[in-house]
Amino acid sequence: MNPDYVALFNALRPETALVLGALAVLGLDMAIDRRRPVGERQRYALWVAAIAIAAAFVPAWHGPRGQVFGSVLVLDHLAVATRLGVLVLTMLTLGVIRAAPVRHPAEYIAVMLFAATGLMLMAAAQQLLLAFLALELASLSLYVITGIGSARPDAAEAALKYFLFGGMAAAFLLFGFSLIYGVTGSIELPVIAAQISVQGTNPILLVALVMVLVAFGFKVAAAPFHLWAPDVYQGAPAPSAALIASASKLAGFALFTRLLWPGFHAASGSAATFAGGPGWLPAVAVVCAASLLLGNFAALAQVNVRRLLAYSAIAHAGAMLLGVMAAGRSGPGPLFYYASTYGLATVGAFGVVTTVAISSRCEKISDLAGLYRRSPFLAATMTVYILSLAGIPPLAGFFGKLMVFSAALQLGGVAGPAGWLALLAIALSAVALYYYLIVVKQVLVADPPANSGPVAAPAATKLALGAAAALIILLGLFPGVILGLFQ
C-alpha cells in the first residue's frame, strides 16, 4: 500500500471540520468569561457547533468517492448518505439542546461533535481497526454526554448502565475481530471477503460472527441486547437520548451492513430458505424476530413517554434488521431510508417532550394532554412524528416500512423465513398503531390539565422541529430524493 495522505485528508475534510469545531467550542468557552450565565455560553457554543456542521456538510456532499488510503475507507453511496444523515440529525439535535439547558454546555456540545465524528467514520470504515476505533470514539463520547449534561441522579445511573453494557459489547466486538483476523489473516474487509469465499465457513468464524452480532445488537438496541435502552432514554438528557436513538442507530446499521454484506457475504447462509450450511442470516433473523415481538408488546405497557420511545426504538430496530437481511439483494437503499426517516421522527419526538418539559413536568404520556391548546405548533409536529413512527401514509415512516418489507418479501416470497418475518412485522405494526395512537389521542383530543399554561418554544428548537416534520412529509411524498443517492 502506498499511503496517500493528501487523498486521506481530502476525504476526511468533514470529520476535520467537526473536530476543529469542537475545539473552537471549547476554546471560545475558555476565552469568554466562564462566569457568564449558562444560557449565554450555551448560545455561543451552539452557534459555533452549527457553523462547524454546516462546514462539514459541503465536503461530505461534494467530496471524493471510492476507495481511500488503500482500502481503509470507502466512500460509496451508503457511506456518503450516512455521513450526510448523521450531520443532519446532529444539527437537529443542536436545536433540541436549545430547549434543554445542559449543565456544562461547551463541554457537552464539544463531546457531541466528537460523537458525530466517530459516527461519520463508522459510516465509511472498511477496515476492522478503523471500524473499532470509530465505534469506540462514538460510544465513549455518547457515554460522556449521557452523564455530564444533567445534575440529576437519573443521568449518572443511565450513563453507568449504558457504559457497562457498552463496554461488554466492545469487548465482544474486539474478541470477534481478533478471531476474524486470526482466521483470515487480514483486517481489510475486501481481503477478508476473498479469504472467506475461498475457505468457506468454519466454527471459529461462526463464533466470531456471533460475537460481532452481539456487539451490534447492543449498538442498535435490538433484543435481547436492549436492556440499557429504556433506562438510558429515560434518564439521559433529552439531546443525548435523541442522538443515541437517531444518528448512532443510523451509523451502527451502516457499519453493520457493510461488515455483513460486502465483508461476510460468503458466510451468510441462504436468505430464502436458510438451507445450505450455517451462516449469520439465521442469527440475524432470530434477533430481528425477538426485537419485533419484545419491542412492540413491551411498549403497550409503558406510561412514560421516553420509555415508550425506547421500546418503539427496539421494535424499529427489528424492522431495520429485516432491511439488513434484504440489503444483500436490494441494496442498502431501503434500510437507509427507513433508518434515516426513523431518526428524524425520533429526534423530533424527543425535542417536543423536552420543550414541553420547560414549563411543566413531561414524563408520563398523560403529561402531553391537551398539547393542541397549549402549543398548536408542538402538537402538530408531534402528531407528524408519531404517525410517521406508526407508519401512516403519506409520511416517510410508511414508505420506509413499505420498502423494507417488500425488499424482505422479495428474498423468498412469503414461504421463506424472511417472508414470515416480514408478515410478522406487518402484523405487529397494527399492535404498534395502538400505543402510538394513545400518544396522539393525548396530544390532540384530551383536555389539558387545569393548571397548565401555554408552552413557549425557543426559536431554534421551533426551527429544528419544523425542519424535521417538513423533511418527514417531503421525504414521504418524494422518497426518490433519498433513493436517488443510491443510484
Partner 1 sequence: MNALQLCLAFSSLLFAVGLAGALARSNAIIVLLGLELMLNAANINFIAFWRFSPSSAPATGVIFVLFSIAVAAAEAAVGMALVIAIYRHQKTIRLPDATDLKG
Q: Which residues bind partner 1 (CB under 8 A)?
A: 128-129, 132-133, 136, 140, 143-144, 147, 153-154, 156-161, 163-164, 167-168, 170-172, 174-175, 177-179, 181-182, 185-187, 230-231, 234-235, 302-304, 307
Residue 414 is given by DSSP the state G
Angle between helices 333-359 and 305-330 (to 10 degrees): 170
Q: Give me the residues paired with residue 68 across strands.
A: 73
- Closer residue to partner 1, CB minimum distance, 186 or 270: 186
DSSP assignment of 38-101, as one string? HHHHHHHHHHHHHHHHHHHHHHHHHS--EEETTTTEEE-HHHHHHHHHHHHHHHHHHHHHHHS-
| Residue 235 Cβ vs partner 1, minimum distance, rounded to whole Å | 5
Please identify which residue in the block is written with the cell numbers 486521506: 8
Query: Residue 430: CA atoms inside 13 Å, Cβ hemisphere, count?
Result: 4
- Closer residue to partner 1, CB minimum distance, 44 or 177: 177
Handedness of CA 394, 397, 400, 405 (dihedral sign): negative
DSSP, collapsed to helix, strand or coil, labels residue 377 as helix
- Closer residue to partner 1, CB minimum distance, 315 or 344: 315
Q: CA-to-CA distance for 43 and 50, rounded, in angstroms?
A: 11
Please identify which residue in the block is written with the cell numbers 433519498: 482
| Residue 451 Cβ vs partner 1, minimum distance, rounded to whole Å | 26
Burial of 182 (C-beta count, 10 Å sphere; 0-12/13-18/19+): exposed
CA dihedral 397, 399, 405, 406 (to 10 degrees): 180
| Residue 69 Cβ vs partner 1, minimum distance, rounded to whole Å | 15
| Residue 301 Cβ vs partner 1, minimum distance, rounded to whole Å | 8
| Residue 232 Cβ vs partner 1, minimum distance, rounded to whole Å | 8
- Closer residue to partner 1, CB minimum distance, 210 or 414: 210
| Residue 457 Cβ vs partner 1, minimum distance, rounded to whole Å | 27
- Closer residue to partner 1, CB minimum distance, 175 or 420: 175
| Residue 114 Cβ vs partner 1, minimum distance, rounded to whole Å | 12
Helix, strand, coil share of the chain (percent; to 5): 80, 0, 20
- Closer residue to partner 1, CB minimum distance, 87 or 170: 170
- Closer residue to partner 1, CB minimum distance, 16 or 186: 186
- Closer residue to partner 1, CB minimum distance, 171 or 427: 171
Contact 435, 304 (CB under 8 A): no
- Closer residue to partner 1, CB minimum distance, 310 or 344: 310
How far is C-alpha 411 from the chain's CA centre? 25
Report which of 234, 232, 246 is spatially closest to residue 91, judged by C-alpha positions: 246
Report which of 111, 99, 217, 205 is spatially closest to residue 165, judged by C-alpha positions: 217
* Neighbouring C-beta atoms of residue 303, cutoff 10 Å: 12
* Neighbouring C-beta atoms of residue 76, cutoff 10 Å: 17
278: preceding bond cis by omega (within 30 degrees):
no
| Residue 166 Cβ vs partner 1, minimum distance, rounded to whole Å | 9
Report which of 79, 208, 90, 98 is spatially closest to residue 138, judged by C-alpha positions: 90
| Residue 236 Cβ vs partner 1, minimum distance, rounded to whole Å | 10
- Closer residue to partner 1, CB minimum distance, 164 or 414: 164
| Residue 323 Cβ vs partner 1, minimum distance, rounded to whole Å | 29
| Residue 197 Cβ vs partner 1, minimum distance, rounded to whole Å | 18
Please identify which residue in the block is written with the cell numbers 457475504: 265
| Residue 155 Cβ vs partner 1, minimum distance, rounded to whole Å | 8
Q: CA-to-CA distance for 437 and 384, rounded, in angstroms?
A: 12
- Closer residue to partner 1, CB minimum distance, 168 or 437: 168
- Closer residue to partner 1, CB minimum distance, 2 or 487: 2
